[in-house]
Amino acid sequence: MKLFLQGAAMLLAAGLAANAHAQGKTQKVIIEDDDPNAIMLVTIDNAGDEIVKVMNETQPQRFHDPKAPRFILTDQKGRFALGIGGYVKATAEYDFNGISDDVDFYPSLIPNRGQTNARNQFQMDATTSTVFLKLVGRTKNLGDFVVYTAGNFRGGDKVFELQNAYASFLGFTLGYDYSLFMDAAGAPPTIDYAGPAGMAFHRATQFRYEHTFMNCLKAGVGVEMTVVDGITNANEHIGVQRAPSVPIYLQYNWNKASHLRVAGILRGMSYDNLSADKMESETGWGILASTTFNLGKRVQLFGQGVYGKGISQYMNDISNLNVDIVPDPEKQGKMQVLPMMGWYAGMQYNITRNLFVSGTYSQSRLYSEKDYPQTPSEQYRYGQYLVANMFWNITPNLQAGVEYLRGWRTDFDDITRHANRINLSAQFNF
């Protein structure tokens, strides 16, 4: 009965806090209890300073990631806190003069000739709506620790799908999260959930270690579960993998909104050579440089370049093509890794504190090697991605946006097709 009354009191307190927040007032909401192990429900701006700092500084930083929660549960001493948050987002999309055949805008998914006669398309989407749980705490032996899980509804038939699930302490992170071979904080703002075609983007099950030096340098190294998608024929088969992928990075920060990152990755990719009846492997590798920095209070710049071989899993647009490894036309049963490249450059201009515009151009490119493909074909060669948008923060928790996208797909036969899209969005954070 006592637990039931506490739960009811907590719900009532949350309602009162939401009402006070809506009226622009600051109100601390506490569940009083004589038990020293009792918990308190508080708004995040009234939690302990140290807990708020850990909660905010460890929140994922990609534009599409949720903000810190509005309410948290904390113990009486303010050493542990559990936050529950997320956002509801709805978008309306209209393609014209060509389509990208997905709810996200990928140049690689602009249909080939004969695949469809559609030149216009209307879609609506709410599957990127996200819910997360985050536990943070300060301990004597483990220091600051974070346990974080988040998911949206991007699974098959719009079922809930895990996007992040990890635990971090003493610089170590174990679980499922963004790869170290990407720069989530350096991605430009878009309504389009995928983002620029040439952006490095990947999630992986991993174990990593990161360390900060002199408050401005940060380095990290990890091992990630290797996932390989490739094009095969009757002489090859891609099955189990024998080695992890190993990413490493170094990042320099000169203020809160400005940094420069360089990263590299090695990938061992195994396959069955059915002609020789043995398992073989190819090595993929990649290098990345990225930055974001502000020019005064109104302008933020974004940029990234990535190049490598056999890293299509980490390339935003090319990841749809399954070209981590492909057949070697010169050797039966053997496979090879192809060179690939991606880059983007963008700018955000803050018109007011609550209104900003941005624009980004991006390109991704797949190169031929050893006469692959052997003849000119409708296989993707490179894609271009252009986005311009405007976002309005109507309230601290409600954001609206409008966006124009244009994509080009050019194949190895030098034929180019294009698509255009208008996006409208509304997002409420909780």
For 26-39, the pLDDT digits (tens) are: 344 443 444 555 56
81, 73 contact by CB (below 8 A):
yes
| Domain assignment of residue 238, yes or no | yes
Q: What percent of the chain has pLDDT over 90?
A: 70
| Domain assignment of residue 271, yes or no | yes
Mean pLDDT of all residues in 244-253: 97
Q: Is the pLDDT of residue 98 over 70?
A: yes
42: tokens are 């508080």
Band of residue 138 on the pLDDT scale cut at 50, 70, 90: confident
| Coil, helix or strand at residue 210 | strand
Tell me the chain's radius of gyration from C-alpha atoms: 24
| Domain assignment of residue 17, yes or no | no
| Domain assignment of residue 1, yes or no | no
More confident position, 79 or 271? 271
| Domain assignment of residue 193, yes or no | yes
| Domain assignment of residue 6, yes or no | no
Q: Is the pLDDT of residue 210 over 70?
A: yes
| Domain assignment of residue 11, yes or no | no
Res 9: pLDDT: 43
Domain count, the chain: 1
Kind of pairing between the strands at 161-169 and 172-178: antiparallel
| Domain assignment of residue 242, yes or no | yes
User: How remote is the C-alpha of 68 from its chain's centroid?
Assistant: 17
Structural domain span for residue 53: 33-429
CA distances from 311 to 201, 226, 322 (A): 11, 11, 10
Q: What is the DSSP letter of 188?
A: P
Q: For residue 238, what is the domain's CATH number? A: 2.40.160.10
